[in-house]
Homo-oligomer: A and B are copies of this chain.
């Protein structure tokens, strides 16, 4: 019996699967019109609760290149949703017989996860709020892999608005997962957020060290560059000095536009960087490819458009073959030798009385009736947990053990020893008491 596979997060694919998908995407890309008999009679439905023409066209092109049909609902917000229908109901209807696969774009974080729980056909997350957009990340990785032949050990500069760019965050995790190194060159005030740095550390052992980017000119001015590597610190120490680790070779620069629509009062783009020949002509950039998720505004000078290292248009184009590979995989028309990832082995679901997710834009709040409150343990020491839908960290006051019916301070030694499947999380003592837990005798 085959379980339906979804693509809600890049983590739904194993590293080996991803690399194998890249091989197949390359074949698709070399003959875009040659695979029109791959998915005859099959239909994908684009359910877009917010507009994103580029993403939609890319998926619809990929599906049609495979010979499949496409259903387009580009304005779901103003149709079914307006009649008060829940996302699970819509998904159950569309997955009933209308379509063989759903491509979902939704403004709420966690929406794709919820959809996947109710769909009887594969769901692809085409962006859920500021949470995930896995096919964008895979497209970015694919471009890097195609140009550089490998990913491990690459030196990748992330530049621009690193604070608010979902694309950058996902790409950073993926680079760490594949063993690439990151040079973070943020516009002043738009640095990588702490929770991203924390996840890089806790999941991939990435430690930030100061980076010396003066050789890069232009782009690096006004930025406190940081070098992020999954390598052991002692290896780095060979290279570092008081100025920070010198960046002497760059394999790729990934530039982003300022996400002004998400900026808050006080954020400024007055001194937003603009990449031009000055930077790209430096020695460390000699073989660097230049990437950008597009659309761009002024952060990449037009003068670079004809530079052979400027890959951003090719990068966008490669969204089609990589999505062809993903569609074919999920529709059962592409068999991989690689094994899928272990089914969330190290993640434990725990229950809480009342929805504690602090993210008001999380699907657990907008579709409260249909979500099952569950959290993933992010770390045991200190104990930290994230919402099972939107991945945002939830505030934990005290921790209970379902066998002893006692509760403990979150950072206590006892808390650390409770078995994962016995863990109960409480917002505070009051909630623990209300649920019938008693304070452990202070030992």
A→B interface (CB under 8 Å): 29, 32-36, 40-43, 45, 51-54, 57-58, 60-61, 64-65, 67, 69-76, 78-80, 83-85, 89-90, 92-94, 96-100, 294-297, 302, 313-314, 316-321, 369-370
State in angstroms the CA–CA spacing of A204 and B4 once bound together.
Answer: 48
Cβ contacts under 8 Å, A29 to chain B: 97
Q: How far is the CB of A139 from chain B (nearest CB, A)?
A: 11
Which of A43, A53, A84: most chain B Cβ within 10 A? A53
Task: Give the contacting residue for A80; candidates B42, B45, B53, B71; CB below 8 A.
Answer: B53
| With A33-B40, A92-B313 as contacts: A98 and B61 at CB distance below 8 Å | yes
| With A57-B73, A61-B99, A83-B295 as contacts: A41 and B36 at CB distance below 8 Å | yes
Check if B85 sits within 8 Å of A295, measured CB to CB.
yes
Q: How far is the CB of A372 from chain B (nearest CB, A)?
A: 12
Check if A53 sits within 8 Å of B40, measured CB to CB.
no
| Known A61-B97, A83-B295, A302-B369; further 6 A-B contacts with Cβ < 8 A | A29-B97, A32-B97, A43-B65, A51-B75, A51-B79, A96-B313
Q: What 4 A-B pairs come out closest when comparing CB atoms?
A: A96-B317, A85-B295, A64-B69, A33-B41
Task: Give the contacting residue for A79; candidates B52, B65, B93; CB below 8 A.
Answer: B52
| Stoichiometry (number of copies) | 3
Q: How far is the CB of A166 from chain B (nearest CB, A)?
A: 14
State in angstroms the CA–CA spacing of A164 and B110 once bound together.
Answer: 36
State in angstroms the CA–CA spacing of A73 and B52 once bound together.
Answer: 10
Cβ contacts under 8 Å, A302 to chain B: 369-370
Cβ contacts under 8 Å, A70 to chain B: 64, 69
State in angstroms the CA–CA spacing of A34 and B321 once bound together.
Answer: 26
Cβ contacts under 8 Å, A71 to chain B: 57, 60-61, 64
Check if B61 sits within 8 Å of A296, measured CB to CB.
no
State in angstroms the CA–CA spacing of A186 and B34 once bound together.
Answer: 53
Which of A73, A94, A98: most chain B Cβ within 10 A? A98
Check if A57 sits within 8 Å of B317, measured CB to CB.
no
State in angstroms the CA–CA spacing of A45 and B100 once bound together.
Answer: 22
What are 22 A-to-B residue pairs whose CB atoms are below 8 Å? Answer: A29-B97, A32-B41, A33-B42, A35-B41, A36-B40, A36-B41, A43-B61, A43-B64, A53-B73, A53-B75, A54-B93, A57-B71, A60-B71, A64-B70, A64-B71, A84-B295, A85-B294, A85-B296, A89-B294, A93-B316, A93-B317, A302-B370
Q: How far is the CB of A136 from chain B (nearest CB, A)?
A: 13
| With A41-B33, A54-B80 as contacts: A294 and B96 at CB distance below 8 Å | no
Which of A29, A90, A93: most chain B Cβ within 10 A? A93
